[in-house]
Amino acid sequence: MAEIVTLGSKPEEGAQQSQASAEGVLVTPPAVAHIRVQLAKEGISPAEGGLRLGVIGGGCSGHSYSMRLEAKPRESDHVFAFEDVRVFIDPKSFMFLKGMTLDYEETLIRQGFNFINPNATRSCGCGTSFST
């Protein structure tokens, strides 16, 4: 069964409460708001679905971040709840993402997610590729 860790909200029954991103991941309020909008656009219920964060091989620095909306978590996922938004991470990707902060930035020059990953020793200029 997927472990649910609730951050920044009232914990679900049986969920563990954690405040340190070092124990999991942290999603900032602007990122939560943007994920919530995207889930609504795709017709995915926040109670069932969420954002899948992952790491895949490739990219200019060795690993690339992946993101997609999913209707439900997998059995082995780490599941983190931020208010009414859930984030799913598979165990293999979690090794690379543990302690990471996901932020969303919207400025005149740039709009998008920022991955602030303490595990990355080097990253590319676009911010979607890293090495450990």
Weakest mean pLDDT among 8-22, 24-38, 74-88: 8-22
Distance in Å from the first CA to the final CA of the chain: 29
**SS3 for 33?**
helix
Q: Residue range 53-82: average pLDDT?
A: 88
**Confidence band of 20 (pLDDT split at 50, 70, 90):** very low
- List the one residue out of 1, 34, 16 whose CA is nearest residue 81: 16
What residues have CB less than 8 Å from 91, skipping those under 6 apart? 76, 77, 78
What's the token pair of residue 51?
Answer: 């954002």
Length of the chain equals 132
Are 67 and 55 spatial neighbours (Cβ–Cβ below 8 Å)?
Answer: no
Mean pLDDT over each residue of the chain, to the nearest integer: 79
CATH classification code of 3-122: 2.60.300.12
